[in-house]
Amino acid sequence: MSYREINFDGIVGPTHNFSGLSEGNIASMASRANVSRPREAALQGLQKMKALADWGIPQAVLPPLERPAISWLRRFGVGGNHDAAVLARAAAEAPQLLAACCSASAMWTANAATMTPSCDTADDKAHFTPANLSSKLHRAIEASETHQVLATIFADSDHFMVHPPLAGGEAMRDEGAANHTRLCADFGSTGIHVFVYGASVFDRSLPQPSRFPARQTREASETVARLHRIPDERTIYVQQNPAAIDAGVFHNDVIAVGHQNVLLYHELAFVEGDAAVQRIAEACDHPLVPVRVSEADVPLTDAVKSYLFNSQIVTRPDGKLTVIAPQESADTPATRALLEQTVDASDNPITEVKFFDLRQSMRNGGGPACLRQRVTLNEQEIAAMHGRVMLTDDLFDELEAWVKGHYREEIVFADLSDPTLLSESRTALDQLTQILQLGSLYPFQR
Ligand code: SUG
């Protein structure tokens, strides 16, 4: 059966802002309190989706979550007689909670879930586990709502199994597909699943970062693999290099990207270094094409600044591989040179690089690959999805007009408690659920 890889990109929500919420994410910390541009952010995201769709690469969308999340503020004890009172009280008494409940962070759908295609699972179903994102408050509150979104789109239990986010607190810290890579000969042949973790609660002897937190545990990765019924011999666990985490590599997809049989990685990505890649290559039953980037060619600081490794690698309909890179990696001399060399080299199948301006997302530490969740499905499964989520020309036009009609040009922190922003966002999201034919998805709609 033929399988296709669909990129589900997150639509940037109307409250996109810079609140400096992610310790360990250098861009987020540096952008704190800057003026954000939600309309531009959403349009930049849509442009990337449209370009891929125009090249014949299956593209879909995931809706943003309800933000400002009044229901979460109330759950955190910030009550009030009406929603405007809740916002005012949050701004006065708990501004950090307000920021967490207004983040548009669900746009980075690489963190929405880990997905395993049905050709890799023992029950022949496509499995999804929404990431609990328990390392960061503003992200942890995404999990239950993301679960609802995925359970709506992938509701057909003949084909799909959508698990709840992992329970278990600190031991089960899970950041989704940002730390997971499926390597395969082609989309429908059985893959090898590489799970990358930063820490283990059962093995405290592992080297640990000293400056920034490790967000993913090995125990969470193993649990996802078990739940998804991936045979043990098709899973491989690799520890992130703590020195890379301390340099700002908060997810593995900031330092390595795999696609089909290609693995583009920095030599300092993993604790074991090249031995990890050797293990991965041995686990694969197809030849792996490692593209190793040395510290001499691209220092870690340039990797983090440019987000070179947060590029998407995509297969064009003619079989050629294109790198979808952030504009910052064209502007950084070392990464630009590396990409040019990679395209010119004959020992890898990458033949092209395209740069995209995703600066609004990038300033919060989210590049091209952060913005997409890869979902590999066969034709029957694609037909079984609910909602109008595949990006066609018509849907693109509607979404573009919707953004232009509802989104603000700029947002600063003081705007987050503005009741008008709340009503604007709800009006926008209400209309979006109609455009995407997803029913009443949001707490305010129920
Ligand atoms: O979790 N930034 C996100 C970026 C996620 C990137 N995703 C991947 N690498 N897959 C994070 O750190 C910043 C929000 C703020 O500071 O306002 C933020 O959440």
Q: Give residue-wise pLDDT tens across range 33-60.
A: 999 999 999 999 999 999 999 999 999 9
- How confident is residue 111, by pLDDT bands cut at 50, 70 and 90? very high
Report the mean per-residue pLDDT for the chain: 98
pLDDT at 1 over 90: no
Query: Do residues 204 and 171 make contact, with C-beta atoms less than 8 angstroms apart?
Result: no
pLDDT at 300 over 90: yes
- How confident is residue 167, by pLDDT bands cut at 50, 70 and 90? very high
**Nearest atom (ligand 1) to Cα of 254:** 9
Q: Specify the residue for token string 């997409």.
A: 372
How remote is the CA of residue 34 from the centroid of ligand 1, in Å? 15
Amino acid of residue 271: V
Q: Give residue-wise pLDDT tens across range 402-424.
A: 999 999 999 999 999 999 999 99
Name the region of 176 (left: φ>0; alpha: ψ -120 to 50; beta: rest).
left
DSSP codes, 255-309 = TEEEETTEEEEETTSBTTTHHHHHHHHHH-SS--EEEEE-TTTS-HHHHHHH-GG
Does the global pTM surpass 0.75?
Answer: yes
Give the SS3 label for residue 76: coil
How remote is the CA of residue 364 from the centroid of ligand 1, in Å? 6
Q: What is the mean pLDDT of residues 309-330?
A: 97
Q: Which of 18, 28, 196, 245 to mutate to test the pocket of ligand 1 (most atoms within 8 A of CB)?
A: 28
How remote is the CA of residue 173 from the centroid of ligand 1, in Å? 15
Q: Which CATH number fits domain 3-67+102-445: 3.50.50.60, 3.75.10.20, 2.60.120.10, 3.10.620.30?
A: 3.75.10.20
Say how far apart CA 14 and CA 45 lie, in whole Å. 13
Q: Give bridge partners of residue 312 from the DSSP assignment.
A: 324
pLDDT at 46: 99
Which residues does ligand 1 sit against, CB inside 6 Å? Answer: 18-22, 25, 28, 103, 105, 108, 110-111, 139, 178, 250-251, 253-254, 364-366, 370
Sheet order of strands, 289-293 included: 256-259, 262-266, 289-293
Catalytically annotated residues: 175, 251, 370
All structural domains of the chain with their residue ranges:
3-67+102-445
The beta strand positions in 88-132, using DSSP E, are 113-116, 126-130
Query: C-alpha distances in angstroms, 213 versus 73, 249, 251?
Result: 26, 10, 11
Bond into 287 cis (ω within 30): no
Tokens of 360: 């609004």
Q: Give residue-wise pLDDT tens across range 367-400.
A: 999 999 999 999 999 999 999 999 999 999 999 9
Say how far apart CA 88 and CA 69 lie, in whole Å. 13
pLDDT at 53: 98
